[in-house]
Structure 1
Amino acid sequence: MYQTIDRLASPKDAPLYLWFEPWAEGLAFPAGMTIELHAQSEIEGRLEIDETSERTAVYGWAGSTLKLIVNGEEVARFDQAVPEKLSQLSTKDSIQLLFGSPPIPNARERAKWKKKPWWKIWD
């Protein structure tokens, strides 16, 4: 089993908007948080992380699952493994070829995270 742990930190003065592919889900984390991304798969690989000023996209690799840990607590889990068919290209390239770039939260979505549990914004 191949396992990786990546850490992302939200800016000290702004939330971090994360988008997860191929699971097509977005989460928001308040300023000053560190998020651990625990991924695993029977197939060797690593998460691909694509950062822009508006959002950060995280792409699993073939066969991988993912869970998010904040302050030692699991806040999200993606148990549906990434399809192995996506291994011919990187997951990022495959998803962008099929669906385009991940969404960027607009002002309405950015405001929503304050009204919902802090880790969910695109529901």
Structure 2
Amino acid sequence: MGFETISYELRHCQETLSGDADWEQVQAAACDPQDAATTTVELVHEGGAESPDSTSGSVYTFEDWPVNSPSHSISVTTSEAVSSVIVVEPTNEVVRDELTSDASDTRWSGFIGSRGPTEYWVLVTP
């Protein structure tokens, strides 16, 4: 399954993004690193939620994660309602997934898929 250490960097954007945004729109949204203390990020694999092994500044790190697993999802909980949460691959400059929210727009989740990179950004938009 290709176990690797992966990271998710939390970034707050100045502009709203959607899942069909291209990389130019991501760059134009002015997404800056945001302190991880305001948001909870968990990864879900085969039905079980996993908390990060460490958090530093804006980065959540998950050690020994099965990057080639077909059942990799993410759950993001924000301290206040937001318009969207998008997961992108900065190395490949690709928008990976737009997460789905609950009624309060504070809990977001989505399927990331398999064979991903080891670095992601979680973009939270106003």
Task: Provide TM-score, normalisation by structure 1.
Answer: 0.31
Greater length-normalized contact order (CA 8 Å, ≥ 6 residues apart): 2
Q: Greater share of strand residues, 1 or 2?
A: 2
Which of the two has greater helix per residue? 1
Normalising by structure 2, we get a TM-score of 0.31
| Bigger Rg, structure 1 or 2 | 1
